[in-house]
Structure 1
Amino acid sequence: MAPILDIKNLYKNYGPVEILKDINVSIDPGDFLVLVGPSGCGKSTLLNCIAGLEPISGGTLSIGGRNMTDVSPKDRDIAMVFQSYALYPTMSVAKNITFGMKVRGVDPATQEAKLQEVARQLQIEQLLSRKPGQLSGGQRQRVAMGRALVRDPKLFLFDEPLSNLDAKLRVEMRTEIKELHQRLDASIVYVTHDQIEAMTLATKIVVMKGGVIQQIGSPAEIYRRPANLFVADFMGNPAMNLIPAKAMQNGEGTKIEIARKVGAPIILTDTNNRDLPEDVILGVRPEDIAEPDFRANQDAQQAECMVDIVEPAGADTFVVMQLGGKHVTARLHAETSAKPGQMQQLAFDLGKVSYFAPETGQRLN
């Protein structure tokens, strides 16, 4: 199957400043690709390059097997949904949705049929005669999506479409976009700085920093096997714990030594990873530090830790301690007996840990 989007060795410069550096990414038809990273990482610039709104400085970009590097935006068979919705305030919802078809000379009967189909899909039939000023943020977002859907493009591009909505509405719209993707089997490229949005929506995630791709993978790969310290820290909420530690080979495996605020260091034995340098950063997700009765698998290693802070959060309770000179968070169950200022027996799931090189930040296992 040929990729629906194929980007090879793409560069984007503004004068002497390199904004995007050697970008290589491709997606298959029906994929939901999310570009994620902090502000200024180049994700929106990359989306604009795909749309043709920004010329590229080097490399090639193909959509549906056709080289689009020098093709104008209107001929790329794409539809864009912007953060600002970009609706015409004087036009009704119906006219906003059909405007592009009218400009392209689509006959009125086809326009009407497309409009009714999309209005039904997005459940906005009752809004068609209203003006954008009479709509809520979520309704405007639906109209903007409707305008993209009637084009039936090869590729949908979403630029931070939910960032103007409140938290509850964002969750609802996220579910809606996911449903829409599954129903239409649409090919989507979606930009966000919200890693939860990325994890929930994507079939494939591209994590970016400083115009460079840090990692490409499925949500599970990015979460479980981050390629470097940046990805480990950026993806996941709460973030992965990154603990300076010492690694020493012994007969059973690798002895991992972690300094504690008081008392002797914690010693864990990792039987899965044997070729580690002496200085490592141990990456462990909060849910992989649990009470021993919740972690009865063979890779769980127990240690006593001094609890500093207990934060109840509904279904979970987060417990914060100091290990290796860092604040370390464990995600425990709601009924935990952990108390601030007391020692707590905890089990570290060494089957799920990551190791990183302190100097380069690169993954070691």
Structure 2
Amino acid sequence: MAPILDIRNLYKNYGSVEILKDINVAIEPGDFLVLVGPSGCGKSTLLNCIAGLEPISGGSIAIGGDDMTNVSPKDRDIAMVFQSYALYPTMSVAKNITFGMKVRGVDQATQDRKLADVARQLQIEPLLNRRPGQLSGGQRQRVAMGRALVRDPKLFLFDEPLSNLDAKLRVEMRTEIKSLHQNLGASMVYVTHDQIEAMTLATKIVVMKAGVIQQIGSPSEIYNRPANLFVADFMGSPAMNLIPAKARTNGGGTTIEIARREGEPIVLNDPRAKDLPADVIVGLRPEDIAEPGFRHGETVQQADCRVDIVEPAGADTYVMTHLGGKPVTARMHSETEAAAGNVHTFAFDLAKVSYFEPETGHRLN
């Protein structure tokens, strides 16, 4: 079966400025692809290229096995949901949803049936006679999604659809979009700068920086095995701790020495680590630096560190210290006895460690 979306060697230039550089992405039918990265990384430009709203400077785009590189947006069999909703203010919700079908000459019975189906799915049946100005932001977003759903396209495109919503509504709408994807089995491409949205929604994530793909993978792969320092730092909340260290290889594995702000360095023994350079960046998620007793096994090693800050966060408490000249965050339980200014024992799970080359930022293990 051909990929539902197949992008090969895509370039996008504005004059002499390269915006997208050698983009290669393919997704299977039913995939939920999320393009994520900081502002200016090129993710929205790439979405517009897929939609045909931006001409590309090189490469090709295929949708459903058909070459769409130079095809008009209206002929690409896509539906797009914009950040700004883009609703017609003088039309009712029902007419906003059915307008595209009316223009395409869809018969009235089909229009009515599809309108009823999406209104039920999105729980907007009581809103059908209202106009957009009478709706909340979340309701407008549901209408915009409904307009896309009635098209039944090969590919749905979402351009930061939740960024205008408040935090609580954003979580609710995120759940609705995930539920829609699961129920419809539709193929979706979704742009966001919010890495939590990316992790919770995607079946496949593309992490971008400065027009270049940094890593493609499942949420688990991106989170647990980041390809470089940028991905490690960008994906995760709080971000992965990236700690400068010294590596000493011996017959039994590798000793990792991490400077403390006071006293002798922490010495951790990692029997799995092989052939590391003398200078290395140790990457550990906050949950992998935990309270003693909550992590067990031969890969867990303990060290005493002075606590800088304690931040209660409900079920978890974030405890900050300094290692390797960098602030380091540990995720401990809510009843931890760690206190700012005191020395506390931290448990490091070396089974979860990532090693990076300091100069290039590339992953080493």
Residue in 1 aligned with 2:3? 3
Counting only pairs closer than 5 Å after superposition, residues 168-207 of structure 1 correspond to structure 2 as 168-207=168-207
Residue in 2 aligned with 1:72? 72
Q: How many Å separate the matches in 2 of 1:25 and 1:106? A: 34
Deviations along 1:243-302, one digit per CA (max 9) or x if unpaired, are 000000123210000000000000000111111000000000000001120001221111
Q: How many Å separate the matches in 2 of 1:131 and 1:346? A: 57
Q: How many Å separate the matches in 2 of 1:187 and 1:298? A: 43
Single out whichever of 52-61 and 295-304 deviates more from structure 2.
Answer: 295-304
Do structure 1's residue 42 and structure 2's residue 42 form an aligned pair? yes
Q: How many Å separate the matches in 2 of 1:229 and 1:184? A: 36
Counting only pairs closer than 5 Å after superposition, residues 13-52 of structure 1 correspond to structure 2 as 13-52=13-52
Do structure 1's residue 111 and structure 2's residue 111 form an aligned pair? yes
Residue in 2 aligned with 1:319? 319
Instruction: State the Cα distance separating 1:340 from its structure 2 match.
Output: 1.1
Do structure 1's residue 244 and structure 2's residue 244 form an aligned pair? yes
Structure 2 residues not aligned, in runs of 5+: none
Residue in 2 aligned with 1:63? 63
Do structure 1's residue 358 and structure 2's residue 348 form an aligned pair? no
Residue in 2 aligned with 1:87? 87
Q: How many Å separate the matches in 2 of 1:346 and 1:323? A: 12
Residue in 2 aligned with 1:276? 276
Q: Which amino acid aligns with 2:240?
A: M
Deviations along 1:19-66, one digit per CA (max 9) or x if unpaired, are 000000000000000000000000000000000000000001000000
Instruction: State the Cα distance separating 1:321 from its structure 2 match.
Output: 0.4
Q: How many Å separate the matches in 1 of 2:78 and 2:202? A: 19
Structure 1 residues not aligned, in runs of 5+: none
Q: Which amino acid aligns with 1:249?
A: T
Q: Which amino acid aligns with 1:132?
A: P
Q: How many Å separate the matches in 2 of 1:347 and 1:120? A: 50
CA RMSD of aligned residues (A): 0.5
Deviations along 1:108-132, one digit per CA (max 9) or x if unpaired, are 1111111011111111111000000
Residue in 1 aligned with 2:290? 290
Counting only pairs closer than 5 Å after superposition, residues 223-238 of structure 1 correspond to structure 2 as 223-238=223-238
Aligned residue pairs: how many? Answer: 365
Residue in 1 aligned with 2:137? 137
Q: Which amino acid aligns with 1:19?
A: I
Counterpart of 2:139 in 1: which secondary structure? helix
Q: Which amino acid aligns with 2:83?
A: Q
Q: How many Å separate the matches in 2 of 1:118 and 1:266? A: 58
Q: Which amino acid aligns with 1:312?
A: P
Counterpart of 1:169 in 2: which secondary structure? helix
TM-score, normalised on structure 1? 0.99
Counterpart of 1:294 in 2: which secondary structure? coil
Residue in 1 aligned with 2:335? 335
Q: Which amino acid aligns with 1:335?
A: E
Instruction: State the Cα distance separating 1:345 from its structure 2 match.
Output: 1.2
Counting aligned pairs with the same residue, the percent is: 81
Q: How many Å separate the matches in 2 of 1:249 and 1:15? A: 50
Q: How many Å separate the matches in 1 of 2:240 and 2:267? A: 20
Counterpart of 1:292 in 2: which secondary structure? coil
Counterpart of 1:146 in 2: which secondary structure? helix
Q: Which amino acid aligns with 1:109?
A: A
Deviations along 1:124-180, one digit per CA (max 9) or x if unpaired, are 111000000000000000000000000000000000000000000000000000000
Q: How many Å separate the matches in 2 of 1:309 and 1:169? A: 31
Instruction: State the Cα distance separating 1:9 from its structure 2 match.
Output: 0.2
Q: How many Å separate the matches in 1 of 2:298 and 2:187? A: 41
Deviations along 1:223-255, one digit per CA (max 9) or x if unpaired, are 000000000000000000000000001232100
Do structure 1's residue 96 and structure 2's residue 92 form an aligned pair? no
